[in-house]
Each structure stands twice: as structure tokens, then as C-alpha cells.
Structure 1
Amino acid sequence: MTDSVKPRGTRAADKRRRLTSAAATVLHEQGVERTTLADIARVAEVPVGNVYYYFKTKDELVQAALSEHRAHLDELTGALDGLPDPRERLKGLIDAWVSQRDTAARFGCPTGTLAAELDKRPEGGLDAEAAAVIRRLLDWAARQFRALDLPDAEDLALTLVCGYQGMSLLANALRDPEVMTREGARLRRWLDSL
């Protein structure tokens, strides 16, 4: 079915979805301050004037991008929850991070870099929304450590996520995806040692 023969509501939902996905991609690659609504419209293949129909401000697009990050995290952790062993779930998470090493080396962690940028803006609010996505990851990881009957599950989750944020930051700063590979292997060995 072509776009011209899709029902109106379906076309609108499709455009909004494309804009949300494009916002997540472009904001990750360019940052909030360097991204224009026209950049997002171009990637979404939507006329720039249509962007305002769905999102009145750039901040609304940032919120949409954060929603996209949350949905991606939920999809990933939902798939990992299908694994019977919590340690294997955590290793699967690390493997997913490492599989994105080339992207991390170019742009850093999608949510982490956005959270750091939003924290520096004079107007607040969106930084807390970015933190909520990271908190969701921490909570999921802590549940896995609790399922392993390990003490201090929240601290272990924090160590794991700090390891990821550090390796993605350094891979980006050094433009070296192998940082992700090496540190991912180290995190897997750390999990085995617990």
C-alpha cells in the first residue's frame, strides 16, 4: 500500500514514527544544539513544515528521542528476559553493547551522551527524563544480580553500567571501537568471577 492510499491516521502515525526514529538518530549523531528540525525532517523524509504538526518544539523532539531510547532498551531487555539464566542475560546485554562498538566509537552512548548534553542546558527537565532511561537500565541490571542471589545488587548494577558508559565514552574519545571489544570481554570475565 503506498503512502497515498494508506488511511489518513495510518499515514500520520507513520510520519510521527519516522520523525521519532530520525530524532533519536540525528540527536545522537549531532547533539541537541547542532541539530535542526530540518535535519530531522530530511532523515525522516518528511517535509520540514510537517514537523511542526507533530512536534511544536525541538524539546518535544528530544522527548520523542528519549522515548525511542526507552523503547529500544525495553525491547532489548525484553528479549534478554527470555534467557533462563540471569548471568547470561547480563552477558547478552554486554554483547549488545559491544555489537554497537562502531557507532559508539563515532558518537558515544545514545542515552548517555544525550543525558550529559541535556544536563548542561540552562533550562531543566529533559535531563531528568534522560536519567530515567538510565535508571531503567540500572533497575533491570539490579534485578538480574538479585536473581543470582548476589549481595549489593544495586551496586553491582551501577558498576556494570558505569563500565558501559566508560567504555563507550573512551571508544568515542579515542575513536577506537576496540575499546568496546576489550572492555566488553573484561566485563564478561568480571561477571563470571562473581
Structure 2
Amino acid sequence: MARTNIDKRSRLLSAAVELTYQNGFEATSLADIAREAKVPLGNVYYYFKTKDEIGEAIVELRLAKLSAQRQRWNEAGSPKDRLCACVQGVFENKDCLAQLGCQVGTFCSELHKAGGPVATRATEIFAQHLAWIESQFRALGKGKDSNGLAVHLLSAMQGVSVLAHTFHDSGLVARETKRLKSWIQSL
């Protein structure tokens, strides 16, 4: 029985992630999530009492995925290699970015328009990402400039994601990530 519960919760969360990415958090209803997960609507409330609980679960999932990515990036040899691996992740996602925008960026932006505790919690996704990027610049010996460099890099990655989505052009991501990697290597 426990496995069935985990499977249903996992299906509901996967459906919520996919639907909120495609349609937005506000536009996605609990009924939509239940239908996509092939779970009766009444069962949704067993796993998630409110839509905010689903939002919190999406934030936790995003944090876990970012943590796993950071672990992979940390396997690269030098801080420059780790930063380039981070930028490469944006490149590898270029087609999705052109079609639907950044999963994290659009989710956080939408949540912050509405405000509330889920939006506040979602801030942690970018805060952790920014802190990791800053730590790489510190490891490169950039000292007090590390935070500014981290903000610049994260802003460039998010900015090109917005532009790629706006123009439906994955080539923008390809060109900008190439420039960012060259910039990192020149530091």
C-alpha cells in the first residue's frame, strides 16, 4: 500500500510540475493535475491539502534537482570548468527554453507576482544557485567581486532564457552560452 501512495504522490507531483511549466501555476487547477496524473480528484487532497502545498512540493523538487546538478558540476576539475558546466546546462536545455522559457525562472516570477509563502520559499532556488556560482568565483580568487560576477552570470543565463522564449529562438541560447563560456575562461 505504501508503494501505491508514493506512486500516486509522485505522479501528482510530476503532473503538477509539467502542467505548471506549460500553463503556469495559477492557470493549473487541482482537477487538471488529477486528470494528468490519472488520479481521482478526491485523492489529490490526501497528498496535498491545498494548491500551495503543491507549490511547496514543486519548490522542494526544484531544490533537490538543483542540488543534484551542483553535485555533477562539482565533479569538474576547476572552478572555471564548474562554471562552464553550469552554463552548458543552459545550452543543453535550449530547445525547452525557446519553447516554454526557464522552468525555474517562470515559476518563481509567476509566484512572486501573487506573493505569499510559496513565493518566499521559491526564492531559495535562486538564492542557492547564486551562492554556488559566487563560491566558484571566490575559488577563482575573485574576492569581493565574486557576488557581482555571480549576479552577472546568473542574470545573463536567465536573460537569454527570456529572450529565447520571447523570440522562440534556441540559437540565442547557443550564441550566449558560447560567449559566457569564453568569458569565464578569460577570467
User: TM-score, normalising length from structure 1?
Assistant: 0.91
Matched, 1:135 2:127: yes
Matched, 1:145 2:127: no
**Corresponding residue number in structure 2 for 1:159:** 152
**Corresponding residue number in structure 2 for 1:32:** 25
Partners of 1:177 and 1:160 in 2: CA distance: 18
Matched, 1:183 2:183: no
- Residues 69 and 110, structure 1, Cα contact 8 Å, conserved in 2: no
Q: CA deviation at 1:76?
A: 0.6
Structure 1 residue runs without a partner (length 5+): 1-7
Which one of the candidate residues 88, 94, 97 is aligned to 1:101? 94
Q: Provide Cα deviations, 1:15-34, integer angstroms capped at 9, x if missing partner.
A: 21222222222111110121
Question: How many residue pairs get matched?
Answer: 186
Most deviating of 134-143 and 20-29: 20-29
Matched, 1:42 2:55: no
**Corresponding residue number in structure 2 for 1:3:** none
- Residues 167 and 179, structure 1, Cα contact 8 Å, conserved in 2: yes
Q: Provide Cα deviations, 1:121-154, integer angstroms capped at 9, x if missing partner.
A: 1x52222111111000001111111111123111
Most deviating of 65-74 and 32-41: 32-41
- Residues 24 and 64, structure 1, Cα contact 8 Å, conserved in 2: no
**Corresponding residue number in structure 2 for 1:79:** 72
Partners of 2:149 and 2:17 in 1: CA distance: 29
Structure 2 residue runs without a partner (length 5+): none
Most deviating of 75-84 and 41-50: 41-50
Partners of 1:11 and 1:22 in 2: CA distance: 16
User: TM-score, normalising length from structure 2?
Assistant: 0.94
Partners of 1:59 and 1:149 in 2: CA distance: 41
Most deviating of 15-24 and 73-82: 15-24
**Corresponding residue number in structure 1 for 2:7:** 14
C-alpha RMSD of matched pairs (Å): 1.3
Q: Provide Cα deviations, 1:49-85, integer angstroms capped at 9, x if missing partner.
A: 2111100111111111111111111111111111221
Most deviating of 16-25 and 142-151: 16-25
SS of the residue 1:33 aligns to: coil
- Residues 86 and 145, structure 1, Cα contact 8 Å, conserved in 2: yes
Matched, 1:58 2:51: yes
Q: CA deviation at 1:163?
A: 0.6
Relative to total residues, which structure has the larger helix share, 1 or 2? 2
Q: Percent identity?
A: 39
Q: CA deviation at 1:46?
A: 2.3
Partners of 1:43 and 1:161 in 2: CA distance: 33
- Residues 21 and 68, structure 1, Cα contact 8 Å, conserved in 2: no
